[in-house]
Amino acid sequence: MNSYELFSHPDRFSYRARLISGATFVFISCLALTYLPPFLLTYYTGEFWTQESTYSEQPRLSNRTKYILIVDNDNVNNNKFFLSSYSTLNNNLKNVILSGYETESSYDIDGDGLLDQFRISFNLIFSQTNVVIRNINIWLIFEYELSDKQRVNMESMALINIVPPSTFTSSNNKNLTVYGQLVFEQRQTIRDSGSDSTYNKAIIDATSSTSTPDLQSILDEYFARKYYTSFETQYTWITPQTTVVANTVAINAVVNIGRQAILYTPGFWQDFKWGWIQYVCVLAPFLIVFSRLKLFAFSNHLVQTLFPLPYHQHKA
């Protein structure tokens, strides 16, 4: 009659020894060499505890912005023109104020409720003819918010610098457009939770009606922050104006706001999860090797123990 194996199991032997003995020393040594080296290996090879990580987020921006516009020219007596959304600054600098107006528009292109593009246009009217424009600086000031990890609320800027060609004058009636990306800059990582409103204050203090703030000091303080935003120019385009008005220049700034990789410091549980995965991966081969070594040492009586008996043996 044919037969086949239904079930099998190995004998389990129990090896006994005194507390202070060679067998105990071998067992403790194998135990230490099984669990300690994997920990040391994963720890000293780096990245056991993740110091920083990245995630992607698109910031929230206000629909309206404050601005400062500075136009440098070659006029010896009056080499700067100024225009801003701050009435006190305009009043303090009325000797160099530019005539004109600005229009703003914002767009949620993908319909996710977040601002994807901001456009601002300046139509400047110069009182003098043939003013050679050397440099244009635009400060766009936004209310900026991150919320996926640490909630960061701050007032930030897009600093746009445009150097037009040497033939660019107020009499050319040109339309100058600059395209760029708003970039989140970090000197240190943000946290994985909590909130930070350190920079949720006015960048420009325009409350005084008698004194003008030092713009250079404002820039120095702004770029010393642990995080801020900057403007990364992508393209500049100069075209003739469709409606020609004498001594006018149109300046358009298009700011694109997209998702960006942001550095943050992981929390304890994220670090623990990542460290545990690394440790277990290195531990697995050590468990296999040292369990075989213990079996070999005890089953071949390389260490002195009491006579082993099968664990499942019935008592008489």
pLDDT digits (tens, 9 = 90+) for 146-177: 999 999 999 999 999 998 887 788 787 788 99
Q: Range with the lowest mean pLDDT among 60-64, 190-194, 283-287? A: 60-64
Is residue 21 located within the same domain as residue 118? no
Q: Is residue 175 part of a domain?
A: yes
* pLDDT recorded at residue 170: 78
Q: Is residue 179 part of a domain?
A: yes
Domain count, the chain: 2
Q: Is residue 5 part of a domain?
A: no
| Structural domain boundaries, residue 136 | 54-265
Average pLDDT of span 236-262: 87
pTM, rounded to two decimals: 0.76
Q: What is the DSSP letter of 132?
A: B
Helices (H) and strands (E) in the chain, counts: 4, 16
**Residue 296 parent element (H or E):** helix 268-299
Q: Which of 265, 282, 301 is the last residue of a domain?
A: 265
Q: Which of 180, 158, 176 is nearest to 167 (CA)?
A: 176
Dihedral, CA of residue 211, residue 216, residue 221 and residue 226, to nearest 10: 140
Average pLDDT of span 76-98: 84
Is residue 41 located within the same domain as residue 153? no
Q: Which tokens go with 5?
A: 């194996």
Question: How many whole angstroms separate alpha carbon 182 and alpha carbon 229?
Answer: 7
Is residue 71 located within the same domain as residue 158? yes
**Residue 273 parent element (H or E):** helix 268-299
Q: Is residue 230 part of a domain?
A: yes
